[in-house]
Structure 1
């Protein structure tokens, strides 16, 4: 029986349209804050926890914006649009930089599979996106 891992991420959007991002300590890539969902945790609570742990920013969840599956690794990511309700930006053991990026900076700094998660979250409310990728690039729908 195949096993899957579930991760969560928060796309925190400011009133000026900038989004919160981290530069990961392990590989230097820019991504929205997130990580593995704990066994006893609701997805929304996991996203709130991960954003706080990695950035120092407290958030509330607005809505689920996408479900993304890495087909080669079996990781399913749930991405939530969030708004800041407190805290101050800081790095952590998992991040070497925390910044508020424009959508254009997201496209330049993030790999395709992370940039699309942020850009999907910036779209007007609607049904969550469901996408698959190979770890680097999006896969076409069947």
Structure 2
């Protein structure tokens, strides 16, 4: 019998202020800019995980609005479930995981983030939900 593949499930929040600026973090471990998020814990719902991850990484409390996409990193076996969020309270502050935190424009997002992460933001702005695969950096085309 073959082993069943193991996947990690993560959640992320695309947090959008009323002025259209989007919350982004620069991770301390790899210096990459990404939306705040992380591994979903076994005992929490998707929405609770998004609220926890955004709060832990940025100090910002959010209201989860809707699912905007599901993204799979084929190289690492990580499935990310992404939600559009609205900030409720809290000042964005650097944390153990996020060296820098900023509210960026869409243009700044596409300049700072790799395509595998910036698409999560642009997808959240236009609707969805979307289902996409990537190699950790670039999106992959669907081969049927």
Shorter-normalised TM-score: what interval? over 0.9
Where in structure 2 are there 5+ consecutive unaligned residues?
none
2:24 pairs, out of 21, 25, 37, with 21
Aligned residues: 140
Who is 1:38 aligned against?
41
Root-mean-square deviation (CA, aligned residues, Å) is 0.8
Moved beyond 3 Å, runs of 4+? none
- Gaps in structure 1 of 5+ consecutive residues: none
Provide the TM-score with structure 2 as the length reference: 0.95
TM-score by length of 1: 0.96
Instruction: Flag the structure with larger Rg.
Output: 2
Deviations 1:42-69 (A, max 9, x none): 1111011000000010001000000000
Number of the residue aligned with 1:128: 129
Q: Does 1:10 align with 2:13?
A: yes
Match of 1:99 in 2: 102
1:54-133 pair list within 5 angstroms: 54-123=57-126, 125=127, 127-133=128-134
